[in-house]
Structure 1
Amino acid sequence: LQTSYCGHIGMEFMFINNVEQCQWIRQKFETPGIMKFTDREKRTLLARLVRSTRFEDFLARKWSSEKRFGLEGCEVLIPALKMIIDRSSAAGIESVIIGMPHRGRLNVLILCLVLHGKYELQRYMFAPQGSGDVKYHLGMYHERINRETDKNITLSLMANPSHLEAVDPVVQGKTKAEQFYRGDTEGKKVMSILMHGDAAFAGQGVVYETFHLSELPSYTTLGTIHVVVNNQIGFTTDPRMARSSPYPTDVARVVNAPIFHVNADDPEAVMYVCRVAAEWRSTFNKDVVIDLVCYRRFGHNEMDEPMFTQPLMYKQIRKQEHVLKKYADKLISEGVVTLQEFEVCLLGYNITVIQSMMAEGEPKCMSYPPTGLTDEVLKHIGEAASSVPLQDFSIHSGEILRGRADMVSKRTVDWALGEYMAFGSLLKDGIHVRLSGQDVERGTFSHRHHVLHDQEVDKRFCIPLNHLSPDQAPYTVCNSSLSEYGVLGFELGFAMASPNALVCWEAQFGDFHNTAQCIIDQFISSGQAKWVRNNGIVLLLPHGMEGMGPEHSSARPERFLQMSKDDPDRYPLYDCNWIVVNCSTPANYFHVLRRQILLPFRKPLIIFTPKSLLRLPEARSSFDEMTTGTKFRRIIPDEGPASKNPGKVKRVIFCTGKVYYELAKERKQLKLEDTVAVVRLEQISPFPFDLIKAEVELYDNAEMIWCQEEHKNMGYYDYVRPRFLTVLYVGRDPAAAPATGNKFTHLAELKRFMDTAFDLSAFEGRSF
């Protein structure tokens, strides 16, 4: 009892309602003498501890004025991760995906993940990619030989922002995707490790959201090892102010994960706990938590002064002997190593800095092949959408399927069938499609019905899109937990694993993305600029003023447009951080989904999807708009009487989305179809300067207005206004001096803007 329960390891497992699992844990900790290590294992542990400690010493000397969020006080983390990776590799794991906060990141990057002697430290410290990010945010991907098992293993550390724990679901999504594409249905080849700070683990709600995905069928990664670096303080906040629970790890109890608390100044105890955790994950495919009870030798970062707020604590910390010295003294006293051997180990540890930079080109155009399909393909997918491929399957009502069959016979599609056509065609071409979110299987508005449920047999269901052809790609459609932050992060991670998959997250209502804003801001909007990580995730956000009050009306398009990086004064435009669209027809929705895969690059796609248009008879499309040779239309010009005689048009109304149908209805009632043209912006960002310019020139006698159903301080107005002015502006470019002093330059400028003012051909042939 003294040995098992009065040492440096504390266990929480009695809440687990599984006798086999509880007995397994008891045997690992209650069996006398089970926590023994060989002399070779102890020497390996010492060498790893030396590397971890000396690396932090090197960073402190080399970059003494830099914030690096060093590992001092928890140097044992590096040997701990190595033990987890070693044991997991021995069990057959081939790929490990890791997420972590700031503390110790450089040490993990260099010592734990990269081959010894080839440190790309200069790249991480001084040569960030893209627009650049701080060194303790950067990630990496590396394949190496595990020296303990002589097996290849791929190690991936995900880039993360300062929003602690935001990377958790992203890691899980990428892990799930790798398991999916490898056919690893038992989690024996791919696994995840998540590291946490104690204050963030207790305080950030996304931790709870991520835990609750851990055993859901379409989201489980079949066991994650969580390592909490327990500083016993959060920046300057004491635990008694930071949480209401006894331990920072108590959130893990909700999923019956065993929790192992261990004193980080006892390296052998830490190694044993890590070994058991790896074996637990391999045996039961369930989450497990390791709580490394340690301390922070310096402040929140190396520039911080902790004595301001925790004077007594830091007086004790300054007296604390370093763990390396403690463990070295222990092994010397045991005769495992000599003092001379230890000193040689210290002196023999050198670091070579190799500068390595990566450059990755930006896409220079939006060109892509047509996205239309043949009538035969459209009909085939339509027939699958309107039938049940299983025999003796009792459906709720045949009305929906009969309605689809009727549309197919008339060569028309509504919104749901247009989406069906897009997904089905990609699946037939071998493109995996994943649709995730709250109630997406049926659809919030009861329009989708991608999963049919047998009305007589419990748990019997059918997904017709998985019965299109023998060699098709799989379709994954999954109702998520009632989470936005966690699930959107998960889908983002899933999309990272394969650029050749269409991964969509649908909000139940567009404004529900509010609670996932961190993922949007930190990963989706800026991920490419900060970390040169392209991602093709699609966000489906129901939007529209339907008279239902302030909740669930607006998907807040102004927020996405405000974060769009295109310059309102630059024309033409060829690059963007994402694409924002508001399609008004099922055909255009069909095309934009297919275009997302056919583009030669990957950008996030934000789609404001409709509600009332889902069933509006006028909002239907013909097969003719989807057949071979057709493609996504960035704007839809007026195609009625006004366009036939543009010289007589007195007003051109530019708009986007649902309001078009209301404008068209009012124009018809007022009998203004000859004198008022209505032009729809389908792609809002990047702004279609070229097509808008053509419309302005076409209706040269007309007044131009912008119309939106959203309030003026919301929606699109603030975004489109300066861009319309740019289209209408003719004159010289900006300059520092009021005029050129060179006559030839003056005449060239004059000719250029005169050509612009009177000659449309000046804009022909440009790519936007």
Structure 2
Amino acid sequence: ELDFGNFWSSYEALVKKARAGALSVEDFSGTTVSLTNPGTLGTVHSVPRLVTGQGLILGVGAMDYPAEFQGASQETIADLAISKVITLTSTYDHRIIQGAQSGDFLKKIHEILLGADSFYEEIFAALRIPYVPITWHNDIPEGKEQLNKAARLQQLIQAYRTSGHLMADTDPLEYKQRSHPDLDVITHGLTLWDLDREIATGGFGGRPFAKMRNVLGILRDSYCRSIGIEYMYIDSPEERKWIQSQVEVGSPFFPREEQLRILRKLNSAEAFETFLHTKFVGQKRFSLEGGESVIPILDAIARYAAKAKLDEVCIGMPHRGRLNVLANVAGKNYGQIFQEFEGHYQENEVQGSGDVKYHLGTYGDFITESGDQTKIYLAANPSHLEAVNPVLEGIVRAKQDKKNVRDIYTVLPVLIHGDAAFAGQGVVSETLNMSQLRGYRTGGTIHVVINNQVGFTTSPDSARTSRYCTDIAKMIQAPVFHVNGDDPEACVRVARVAFEYRQSFNKDVIIDMVCYRRRGHNEGDEPSFTQPRMYKLIDAKRSTRVLYAEALVGRGDITQDESNEIAKEFQGQLEAIFNMVHDKLPEQPEFNKLEELDPLTANTAISEEIARKIAATQIAIPDGFKVHPKLAPQLQRRISMLDDGTIDWSGGEMLALGSLLLEGHSVRLAGQDVGRGTFSNRHAVIRDYENGSEWIPLRELISGSTHLFVIDSLLSEYAALGFEYGYSLEREDALVLWEAQFGDFANGAQTIIDEFISSSLQKWGERSSLVMLLPHGYEGQGPDHSSGRIERFLSLAAENNMTIAQPSSASSYFHLLRWHVKNPARRPLIVFEPKSMLRLKAAAAQLSDFTSGTFTPVLSDPAINGASKVVLCSGKIYWELVSERAKRSDNTTAIIRLEQLYPLAINQILAELSKSPNAKLIWVQDEPANQGPWPFISSNLQEALGARTLTKISRKSAASPATGSIYIHEQEQKTLIAEVFAS
């Protein structure tokens, strides 16, 4: 049974033979029906004569308007709903066919020509036209009770703008006809009779009037071909009109040079993957095969960025296609990648464990044919999908802040996603939510989703509830461009519109490139176990490069010889490079190992003059500014506490931040409620009591390009901490702090802590000096408001990867922050802050503690000599022990504070313990025995103690950090303290 496509092919073959005089007897064998078409000569009606052997002749006359209307204008014909007609005749052998049968036969043809039996739908399907035809309906007149045609056309235009994406041909794998009731002309009171009528358009297409056929053509070209667009949910009329001006232009012309560049980029993408697959059989590389069009997309974005004089394009992406992007966009040396496949890494890339090649980042220069130039940065990332998103945004924001130009965004962030991860990972929505926040905006990010329609083995119907994987982006009113990955010209067109949208509105924009994954999740995976039908289609499919090359040759845009030459040239380059580096070690560039600054010798003190200058900012109230009546005395006290020796924790922090600002270091403090402070302690940002305007006193100390940012973050830990980590990578000169509302909540960002903060130096050679401030303390507030999980951070501590501290006084905290900034060996600092101790008078400091001294990792107990018992502890419990010792008039128990828990200052600890060689040694902590510092202390200090034994006093091991009962907490605390002093 022939479908229309096969019928058409057979028909054309017969016509070709007839014109060549090559028809043979076999061509007529078994035929009893003849088709004659005198209409091609203009004959309206013919009655042919049967000859021997013919059962029926179907005569087809000319297709034209009825004779009485042939003098009418096209406008009149359209207005009257006059159609062209065709006369069919049936000449039959009455011995075989009855007259009634002939009449029924002609009636059936008439019905089919009007669309019966899905005739046109089958033709469209056979020709792989991805739409349903406009069907036959009687004309709908404009009555008094009905909308006029212009209003109906406006409804149709709006419907296509809103829902045209539902009919877009964006799936490269499978053909299907797409339709939607909202896009059917009959839904809007229009019919096929309106196609050639001139209707008022409201300015659509730049014309006041147009035939509906032309309007419909533009709408389909704009919204329903290889690109589907979602944007009508955007509130801004300006943005909607801008998008319409960019896309409602039909199919744009691509110059030959652009086509050749696209083809070369596709070729380099495909050849690179094929080369790796051949040379390094079985090695994981998470290939881009099936999604190669992302290379022309990124290439186009980089070209537009260079032409627009942007300083840099910063890319964050997962492992899928990463090697291809490294090589063909970011400019990483092919030879270096080949050497990494052979197990050879340059020593400056990593400092410890290193990482797999598809996690590494790079820097490069991008130069266009015209000489325009921009830098390319590809961020390193772990296997944890989407975790790099906020990190990259932080990097970009830091790069922009360093330029010290307000609202000029010359660094472009580009984030590449997978479809399953974009829909499934919550950090995506957290990062999107940041995009327009004052403390986080980067001028708009271009998001590119490599939508290969599968997540490892999971199909979309199991991966998301939403229609599209990109639906989450609608929450920030970002336009979404869905594009068929097998149409690389459409992909590049979308890249241009996305880039210009970002430049025009400084907002995020989404490209959803629908493609497929040629192989399994990795090169050793068999995908047909879980997607058998999909992979039958994929296995039978030619590559995007082959399809595009065939299209260019078929259209006459390039010759077959040019196509063949482009296919060969890159393969030869790869072979030559591989032969040069095969089995050779990479050259090792020189790099300097940064020296550690000893906190005991660091100059972290400030002068009294500087301290008073900093404190004075707290009462330098701007003219007309109304301070809250309850807050004014607290600000005034920040002057008096310098004199009366009651400098509290927030005062010490104020002196640290202020002094660093005066020394030219920028400061960024971010986190939930950090402006005021969770415990109403900081008041770094003050609001006018009457109008809510903002005053940041320490900004009085800024000069030059120095910044002070105090950012109340969104209610997020994961993305918020990731952003600050990224920011700290780029701002080597700055103090970057992130404070958790309570330390307990930091585990909401555990991925950032595990994958970036604790190990980035060892894996990727990245140096971060981020400070994490984690309020921690057992005060009976329950299991979720007591512990910053000291034990977890200490379990990650190794290879000098970070500093973990629990200062017990404002001055210790002050010196710690200043030492951290001055230390050239940049690494993260984890500070377990107090809560009840914030205002503890015993923990207050004298001004002299800030004008002299340094950060001391181990603080001795000068009050006790010849102790019989030495207690080691950290944090607020020190002050409780000191208070209890005073109550008991105990002069035999020495209490030593560990201000720094990692790196553990073992030599200093041993020096202190040697002062009491016969004393009993005790470790005391608030936390349960399986938590807090004890697991780390016991495994790292006991061996150094030799024959001496360190015993612990703590709460018993527990699954939860703390009790939920204030009564039980108080009993536990009393018992714990009493046990320390028991005989």
TM-score normalised according to structure 1 size: 0.90
Q: Are the equivalent residues in 2 in contact too, given 1:484–1:512 (CA < 8 A)?
A: yes
Of 15, 20, 30, which aligns to 2:248? 30
Counterparts of residues 302-313 of structure 1 (less than 5 Å):
302-313=523-534
Q: In structure 2, how many angstroms separate the alpha carbons of the residues matched to 1:194 and 1:358?
A: 30
The Cα shift of 1:195 comes to: 0.1
Is 2:642 aligned against 1:408? yes
CA contact (8 A) 1:429 1:473 kept: no
Structure 1 position 300 matched with structure 2 position 503 = no
- Structure 1 partner of 2:927: 710
Q: Is the 8 A contact 2:263 2:548 kept in 1?
A: yes
What residue in structure 1 maps to residue 327 of structure 2?
110
**1:356 Cα deviation from its structure 2 partner:** 4.9
C-alpha displacement of 1:92: 2.4
> 2:334 aligned with 1:101, yes or no?
no
Residues 264-663 of structure 1 correspond to what in structure 2 (within 5 A)?
Answer: 264-349=485-570, 350-351=573-574, 352-353=577-578, 355-357=586-588, 360=591, 362-363=593-594, 365-367=596-598, 369-385=602-618, 387-397=619-629, 398-458=632-692, 460-468=693-701, 470-471=703-704, 473-565=706-798, 576-628=800-852, 630-640=853-863, 642=864, 645-646=865-866, 649-663=867-881
Is 2:445–2:502's contact at 8 Å kept on the other side of the alignment?
yes
| Cα displacement (A) at 1:88 | 2.0
Measured at CA, do residues 472 and 137 of structure 1 come closer, stay the same or move farther in structure 2, by a change above 3 Å? closer
- Matching residue within 856, 873, 885 for 1:667: 885
Partner in structure 2 of residue 736 of structure 1: none
1:677 and 1:3 mapped to 2: Cα distance? 83
- Does the aligned pair in 2 maintain the 1:46–1:328 contact within 8 Å? yes
Rounded to whole Å, the distance in 2 between the matches of 1:104 and 1:357 is 27
Pair 1:407–1:116, CA change in 2 (3 A): closer
TM-score scaled by length of structure 2: 0.71
Larger relative CO (CA 8 A, sep 6+): 1 or 2? 1
Change (3 A) 1:490 1:356: farther
| Equivalent position of 1:86 in the other structure | 303
User: How far did residue 123 of structure 1 move?
Assistant: 4.3
> CA offset at residue 410 of structure 1?
2.4
Q: Distance in 1 between matches of 2:457 and 2:703?
A: 60
In structure 2, the partner of 1:172 is: 393
What's 2:360 paired with? Answer: 138
Structure 1 segments (4+ residues) deviating >3 Å: 115-121, 353-366, 469-472
Residues 489, 519 of structure 1: 8 Å contact kept: yes
Residue 188 of structure 1 deviates from its aligned partner by: 3.6
Alignment-derived partner of residue 244 in structure 1: 465
The 1-side partners of 2:413 and 2:720 are apart by 17
Matches of 1:167 and 1:523, distance apart in 2: 9
CA contact (8 A) 1:231 1:294 kept: yes
User: 8 Å contact 1:360–1:532 — kept in the other structure?
Assistant: no
The Cα of 1:517 is off from its aligned counterpart by: 0.2
Q: CA deviation at 1:365?
A: 4.2
Work out whether residues 88 and 279 of structure 1, in 8 Å CA contact, stay in contact via their aligned partners in 2: no
What's the CA shift string for 1:382-421, capped at 9, x where partnerless?
2223x13411211002111122121023254110010000
Return closer, same or farther for 1:469/1:211 CA change in 2, 3 Å cut-off: closer
Partner of 1:577: helix, strand, or coil? Answer: coil
- Give secondary structure in 2 for the equivalent of 1:348: helix
**AA of the residue aligned to 1:383:** A
The more displaced of 499-508 and 114-123 is 114-123
Instruction: Say if 1:86 and 1:148, in contact at 8 Å, map to a contact too.
Output: no
Q: Pick from 176, 182, 190 the counterpart of residue 403 of structure 2.
A: 182
- Over 3 Å counting, the alpha-carbon distance change for 1:503 and 1:722 in structure 2 is same
Give the partner amino acid of 2:367.
Answer: N
Q: Distance in 2 between matches of 1:232 and 1:464?
A: 53
Q: Secondary structure at the match of 2:423?
A: helix
- Once superposed, what is the RMSD of the aligned Cα atoms? 1.7
| Structure 1 residue 367 displacement after superposition | 2.2
Q: Distance in 1 between matches of 2:341 and 2:859?
A: 47
Q: Which has the larger radius of gyration?
A: 2
Aligned equivalents of 2:462 and 2:590: distance in 1? 45
- What CA distance in whole angstroms lies between the structure 1 residues aligned with 2:404 and 2:273? 40
Which stretch has the larger CA shift, 511-520 or 107-116?
A: 107-116
Contact 1:88–1:282 (Cα < 8 Å) also in 2 = no
Contact 1:429 1:472 in 2 (8 A): no
Match of 2:223? 5
Change (3 A) 1:583 1:27: same
Query: How far off its partner does 1:336 sit?
Result: 2.0
* Kept after mapping to 2: 8 A contact 1:583/1:682: yes
Task: Work out the CA distance in 2 between the residues paired with 1:119 and 1:716.
Answer: 43
Once the 2 structures are TM-superposed, how far is the Cα of residue 539 of structure 1 from its aligned partner?
Answer: 0.1
In 2, Cα distance between equivalents of 1:267 and 1:364: 50
Question: Residue in 1 aligned with 2:443?
Answer: 222
Q: Secondary structure at the match of 1:503?
A: strand
| 1:44-86 Cα deviation digits (max 9, x unpaired) | 1111111111111111111112000010001111111000111
Aligned-pair CA distance for 1:498: 1.8
- Unaligned segments of structure 2, at least 5 residues: 1-215, 949-983
* Higher mean C-alpha displacement, 122-131 vs 530-539: 122-131
Work out whether residues 141 and 157 of structure 1, in 8 Å CA contact, stay in contact via their aligned partners in 2.
yes
Percent of residue pairs bearing the same amino acid type? 43
- Any idea what the Cα deviations from partners look like across 1:295-339, whole Å, max 9, x if unmatched? 001000111001111111101110111111111111112222211
Return the match for 1:729 from 927, 936, 946: 946
- Cα pair 1:110 1:121 within 8 Å, conserved: no
Q: Which amino acid aligns with 1:622?
A: Q
Q: Given that residues 396 and 411 in structure 2 are in contact (C-alpha distance below 8 angstroms), is that contact kept between their aligned partners in structure 1?
A: yes
Tell me the residue number matched to 2:912: 695
Matches within 5 A, 1:21-60: 21-33=239-251, 35-60=252-277
Deviations 1:327-386 (A, max 9, x none): 11111122222111121222211122554555655556442522111111112112223x
| Equivalent residues of 1:94, 1:153 under 8 A apart | yes
CA contact (8 A) 1:187 1:221 kept: no
* Structure 2 counterpart of 1:408, one-letter code: L
Q: Is the 8 A contact 2:483 2:514 kept in 1?
A: yes
**Cα distance between partner residues in 2 of 1:295 and 1:603:** 41
- Of the structure 1 ranges 449-458 and 13-22, higher mean CA displacement relative to structure 2 is found in 449-458
CA contact (8 A) 1:165 1:201 kept: yes
CA distance in 2, matches of 1:247, 1:356: 47
Q: Is the 8 A contact 2:664 2:703 kept in 1?
A: no
Post-superposition offset of 1:718: 0.8
**CA apart distance, 1:146:** 1.8
Mean CA deviation greater in 254-263 or 471-480? 471-480
Instruction: Name the CA distance, whole Å, in 2 between partners of 1:124 and 1:482.
Output: 42
- The DSSP-based 3-state class of the residue aligned with 1:43 is helix
Residue pair 1:692, 1:727 contacting (<8 A) in 2 also: no
Q: Which amino acid aligns with 1:140?
A: T
3-state secondary structure, aligned to 2:363:
strand
Question: Over residues 204-235 of structure 1, what are the superposed CA-to-partner deviations in whole Å (9 max), with x where a residue is unaligned?
Answer: 00000000000001100110000000010100
Q: Matched residues in 1 for 2:702 and 2:472: separation?
A: 45
Unaligned runs of 5+ in 1: 566-574, 732-768
Matched residues, number: 711
- Distance in 2, matches of 1:9 and 1:165, equals 25
